[in-house]
Structure 1
Amino acid sequence: MALQNYTKHLDVTIKLAYPVMLSQLGQVLVGVADNIMVGRLGAETLAAASLANSIFFLILMFGTGVSMAITPLVAVADGEGKKRRISRIFQHGFWINIVSGILLFLFVLGLSPGLNHLGQPVEVVALAIPYLLIITFSLVPLMFFQTFKQFIEGLSQTRQAMTITLACNAVNVFLNWVLIYGNLGFPAMGLNGAGWATLISRVMMAVVIYIYVQQSGRYRAYSLIYGFAKISRGMVSRMLKIGVPTGFQFVFEVGAFSTAAIMMGWLGVNALAAHQIAINLASVSYMMASGLAAAAMVRVGNQLGRRDILALREVGFSIFGMVAVFMFFFAVLFVGLRNYLPLIYIDDPGVVQTAAVLLVIAGIFQLSDGVQVVGLGALRGLSDLKVPTLVTLVAYWVVGLPLGYILAFPFGMEEVGIWIGLLTGLTATAIMLIWRFHRISKRLLKAQHNSALDKEDQVLALK
């Protein structure tokens, strides 16, 4: 009977999560396609893509985190039936995201010359910088897209963003073929061609989702406002208090992998290329698991708005179970096909051999990776941000990365040592986050129970 209390939530969660998972998978597969196409140009170009993407993905995830402030607030307001409040959340989120996209681009523009001072191969940096600037400019239309995506996902409507994302990603892959290799009469632009394809496809995503939301009758009840009228400093502050810590949660995790890429560069071009292959494959499972995390955030937020704490706990733990099963499948896939998957990207024997070893470690940390990302999503639904942010900081930057450096260089374990450090950080994060969700939800349940008893005592006293 107790198990049925959890399994009854699976159907609703799957319907909510699978479009987000497919949308995220579409985004990742574009990255996979980019790397496969770029990998055909050689190890140096693939290493340049690794270096640039390690920086860009860090910035991208911070921006994504900022935009995600919209979803839990909309989910709670939707649970409470407050449509006017949802409209105000959208308005404030719109301007926060647009300004954030511009500031993040300017930040990377100023930061990019610093890649020359990270101890990376000169030929790799020369290829990486222009590509990095092109794809970073795509953050502006992407943050515009994220505003609408997070808004409609907060209303438990996830298929629309999925459809738009997958369609525009297909365009991205086609443009890669045209611009990287110089097909259909276009000049061969190499790595920069992949960057321009990304920028064009993200502009398309922004335009299409705007037209969809404006034309769809289901959103007219929310009176979406795009101007500065009635912008509230209090609302901006509240959203930033959710979005900025969420962004830093992503930064601390993704930053650990980006720093690992820089350490891989110290070991040479082949090590950096192998790292890019392994992390690109691992990102497929991670981003799909983040679809379950988005479902956890929305469903936990809804139950919190309805004050149904028992259902809130059941929802949370049912999704932890789902992600564990899901990630086990990828663990088996990575370990079983470790000698074959790298061949999709490159045929260099040294790179393939190193990537195969890293894929074994990637298989081992799949469970931890899935649990920790769902833990962050569930806690975000509870608006619990400060402690999870601290957890990610300590786990990755105090434990994982220093351990990886020590194992890689003083102990001579090189690539394997760096990835063992990442495995340790992910596992520590997963354990701490699932425990925190249990404690907070248990405390809320107890408080609700005590409140009900107090009301019952008051009724008895009146009698």
Structure 2
Amino acid sequence: MNDQTAQHSFWREANRLFRFGLPLVIGQAAAVGIGLTDVFMAGQASANDLAGVTLGNSLTIFVFLILGGILFANGPMLGFHFGANDREAVRNQFHQCMWLALPLGIIATLLMIFGIWLVGQLGAEPEVVDIARQYLYPMLATVFMYHLMFWKRTTLEAVNVPQAVMVVNILGLLLNYVLDYALVFGHFGLPRLGGAGCGWATLIVVTLQTLSFFLWLKYGRTPRKFNLFSEWYRPKWEDIKAILKVGLPIATTIMFEFSYFGVIPLIVAKLGSEVVSAHSIAQQIDAFMFIAPLGIAQAITIAVSHNIGGKRHNMARLSCKVGLILIAAIALVQMTVYLLFPEALATLFSDNKSVQVITIELMAFAAAFRLMDALAVGAMGALRGFKITRSPMYIQFAAFWVVGFPLAYSLAMTSFWGEPMGVAGFWLGAVVALSVSALLLNVMVWQHQKKQEDTLLVQDQ
């Protein structure tokens, strides 16, 4: 392949990944927007409503990440069969994932019942606990529906219909805003439920989204070719075990990073509410920025799985290369925004001068964090496309809990390295952890591609 042809292939693949990834980014932003709408509406009702909804929402996200994260495996596994144009295997994978999603949803509901009891043991004010519980009652059904929705959503992404996810999530966001407004404040003849209204609104929205994904899978132009609902497969333990083999490490990997940031507010709470608020603001800003690299990483996963399934190994390597460069470019732009406009970002979320000062300090660390996190999630997306998930799990554990957390705690809360850095020490520890993770994960991608290239050379001889 000459340089001109290679350049043409590069830009063609970049365009393909961008066109596939953009709907995923927009759809993910809309999904995140539903949670932000709940927080905004609850905050307009009262401080206690906001605290109760935040507490209940955090518990719901935690439970779903533990169990629902397993269903991420459906994307690359079904995508492999889609790339191979094996319609029977696509149907079988679709049904086996359903047989897994159903019990996971039931277990999640049982965990939420325990969570309703648990919120009363956290030392929050009685009114906040009551609001959190009222919010969680409808979420018992919602968390079950989440698993069915995610099973269908990952299927749509795997069969090259990311636009469906984007459209349904945008409509869900708009409906959630209207329902929150009606149920939280008692408009349009509906009862005034306060923060609990956010829970009922979410249940209605998620149920309708699940139904919408079902209709798209049954009648959509591309999905209907596979007749996903025409012939039902019984549960097959070997196939379900294969999904768990790929999915459990994915869920565990997510939890290692999620739990790292989850414990920070608990540790730095003694430093004052302003420190906790600044950390929360920086984390929320970065969580929003993370949507773009995550969407492209998901596009890499699907592109690689399609190419591997179709035995287009050279194209799989190109998808990795182009995707990682695209993610790095996006992260560099985001990093520049953090460094050039920290004051604007801080004042956007708080009027408190002390909170703004701490937030501005954290944005410098968040800039480095954003680049390393993007490089890590991009490599992880590529490896998931190859159905490699166990080694990344070990890497994330070592990076965050063997290297990152001990370093972060010693920097933040002790004088081992000199003057304690406070919450900034945890962000510096996260930067180091993600630097280790990004390096090792990208080396893994390179090694796997090199191994594949050597195998193909041997086969051609």
TM-score after normalising by structure 1? 0.88
Alignment partner of 1:337 is 2:341? yes
Aligned ranges 1:21-420 → 2 under 5 Å: 21-40=25-44, 50-114=54-118, 128=132, 130-131=134-135, 134-135=138-139, 137-225=141-229, 229-411=233-415, 412-420=420-428
Instruction: Give the AA of the match of 2:431.
Output: L
Q: Distance in 2 between matches of 1:278 and 1:54?
A: 17
Instruction: Give the AA of the match of 1:446.
Output: D
Quote the offset at 1:393 in angstroms. 1.2
Q: Which moved more, 1:270-279 or 1:361-370?
A: 270-279
Quote the residue 1:458 is aligned against. Answer: none
Quote the offset at 1:116 in angstroms. 5.9
Q: Distance in 2 between matches of 1:78 and 1:332?
A: 38
Quote the offset at 1:381 in angstroms. 0.7
Contact 1:75 1:298 in 2 (8 A): yes
Unaligned runs of 5+ in 1: 454-463
Q: Which moved more, 1:160-169 or 1:326-335?
A: 326-335
Deviations 1:253-309, CA, capped at 9 Å, x for gaps: 222222223334444444333333222221112122211111111111122122232
Instruction: Give the AA of the match of 1:441.
Output: Q
Q: Distance in 1 between matches of 2:33 and 2:122?
A: 29
Instruction: Give the AA of the match of 1:74.
Output: L
Taking structure 1 as reference, are residues 318 and 190 closer, same or farther at Cα in structure 2, changes over 3 Å only? same
Q: Distance in 2 between matches of 1:335 and 1:173?
A: 33
Cα RMSD (Å):
2.7
Contact 1:182 1:189 in 2 (8 A): yes
Quote the residue 1:449 is aligned against. Answer: 457
1:19 pairs with one of 10, 18, 23: 23
Q: Which moved more, 1:341-350 or 1:193-202?
A: 341-350
Taking structure 1 as reference, are residues 14 and 229 closer, same or farther at Cα in structure 2, changes over 3 Å only? closer
Taking structure 1 as reference, are residues 119 and 437 closer, same or farther at Cα in structure 2, changes over 3 Å only? farther
Count of residue correspondences: 453
Q: Distance in 2 between matches of 1:342 and 1:188?
A: 33
Taking structure 1 as reference, are residues 166 and 300 closer, same or farther at Cα in structure 2, changes over 3 Å only? same
Quote the offset at 1:344 in angstroms. 4.1
Q: Percent identity, please.
A: 23
Quote the offset at 1:187 in angstroms. 4.9
Q: Which moved more, 1:332-341 or 1:140-149?
A: 332-341
Q: Distance in 1 between matches of 2:160 and 2:176?
A: 27
Q: Which moved more, 1:370-379 or 1:401-410?
A: 401-410
Quote the offset at 1:207 in angstroms. 1.5
Q: Distance in 1 between matches of 2:178 and 2:145?
A: 20
Taking structure 1 as reference, are residues 233 and 386 closer, same or farther at Cα in structure 2, changes over 3 Å only? same
Taking structure 1 as reference, are residues 264 and 42 closer, same or farther at Cα in structure 2, changes over 3 Å only? farther
Unaligned runs of 5+ in 2: none
Taking structure 1 as reference, are residues 22 and 42 closer, same or farther at Cα in structure 2, changes over 3 Å only? same
Quick one: higher RCO (CA 8 Å, sep 6+), 1 or 2? 1
Taking structure 1 as reference, are residues 301 and 223 closer, same or farther at Cα in structure 2, changes over 3 Å only? same
